A and B are shown apart, each in its own frame.
Chain A
Amino acid sequence: MILDKSQAALALADIEHAERRGFSLSRYHGGAPFLVWGGVVCFTLNLITEYTHWYGVWWMWGFLVWGVGNVVIALLINRHRLSAAPGHSLRATAIGWIAFGLFAGVIAVAQPLSGSQVETLAALMLFGAYGLVGVFFGPRSAIIGTALAALSVLGFYTMGVHFPLYMAVVGGGGLILAGLWLRRV
């Protein structure tokens, strides 16, 4: 069988499209457990805050547990990947430190007056990062990030004292659903 120029170009475009889709699906599959875990932590912490009306010290413990859980998930995923690039864990750790530095710096400079301001900033950073990741790795992340960031800001302005409950459902529940969505091929 002989292919002419346009048929060859079409075949190459198909192959490239399939490669891109495979790449996106593999990233989705790898990212899903992190989203579900983040959703569980977000849901729990917000529910506690809703019923105690206090952004207390458990948020710090919650962040710590969240971070440790992420490391465990990353280790479990990498154990199943024979060709995991050696620089990945170093970069992931560095990204975590940069995000933490940015968050701490913004809190120091902005001097927030309420816990909901701090939580909305954290949500914007996290969901904004998902949005950015989606620009390079696949549209589902971009949709999840943009939608959850917009809903967080909307809740900040409209939900008043029930903002934590709203974030438990929208932020926590949204992340868990998003994680399940990412696992679907």
Chain B
Amino acid sequence: MTLDKHEASAALAEIDASQARGRALYSYGQAAPYFFVTGLLWFVADMLMQFSSLNPGLIWPVCSGLATFVYLAVVFVQARARAAQPGGKGGRYAWRVGVVWLIVFAFMVASFAIFTPFNGYQSHSFIGLFIGAVYAALGLWMGWRLVAVGVLLAGLSVAGYFEIRTYYDAFMAVVGGGGMMLGALWLRRV
């Protein structure tokens, strides 16, 4: 069988598209656990803030501390899986995830420090907006589903700040936490 120039070019374009789709699906699978853990943390912490009588100053720090252990476990499992692949570089992956997390954490702390005094609504909406923007930016490389989740999360975080007061925490639990968990399940669907 002989291919002419156009057929060969079309075949190469198909291979390219299929490789890009494979990469996007792999990235979705890698990102989904982080989405789910973040969503669960957000949902539980905000629901406790809204409806429980626990000390509000402790709810987010304690929940975040617990979630950090789960993140570390996810990084460890994913790094081990990468290391097991031929030519895998699990160590470099874990190192990069750690540094990215540190940079984001430092950015949040510095921003809060600059805008002090910052009330709960402001800090919450800031986090929602920031995480939404980060996911949208990542989605430009990983696939459009992330862009959709990110834009929605950022937009609703700002809308909630201006429009909702009494049930703000519950709103953010559903929008932020619920949205991210749904996003995680969506990402895992091929």
Residues of A within 8 A of B (CB): 91, 94-95, 98-99, 101-102, 105-106, 108-112, 117, 120-121, 124-125, 128, 131-132, 135-136, 142, 145-146, 149, 153, 156
Q: How big is the B interface, by class?
A: 20 to 34
Q: Does B126 contact A (CB under 8 A)?
A: yes
Q: Is the CB of B154 within 8 A of A102?
A: yes
15 more A-B residue pairs beyond the given contacts A112-B115, A128-B104, A135-B99, with a C-beta to C-beta distance below 8 A: A91-B140, A98-B136, A98-B137, A102-B129, A102-B130, A102-B154, A109-B122, A110-B122, A117-B115, A121-B115, A124-B107, A124-B111, A146-B103, A149-B107, A153-B110
With both chains docked as a complex, state the minimum distance between the C-beta of B184 and any C-beta of chain A, in angstroms. 21
Q: Is the CB of A136 within 8 A of B158?
A: no
Q: Is the CB of A153 within 8 A of B136?
A: no
Residues of B within 8 A of A (CB): 96, 99-100, 103-104, 106-107, 110-111, 113-115, 118, 122, 125-126, 129-130, 133, 136-137, 140-141, 154, 157-158, 161
Most chain B CB inside 10 Å of its own CB: which residue of A109, A132, A145, A156: A109
Q: Is the CB of B122 within 8 A of A105?
A: no
Cross-interface CB contact of B103 among A98, A111, A117, A128, cutoff 8 Å: A128
A109 vs B133: C-alpha distance when bound (angstroms): 15
Using CB atoms, name the residue of chain B closest to A131: B103
A-B contact pairs, 20 of them (CB 8 A): A91-B141, A98-B133, A101-B154, A102-B129, A102-B133, A105-B129, A105-B157, A106-B130, A109-B125, A109-B129, A109-B158, A109-B161, A110-B115, A111-B122, A117-B114, A128-B106, A142-B99, A153-B113, A153-B114, A156-B114
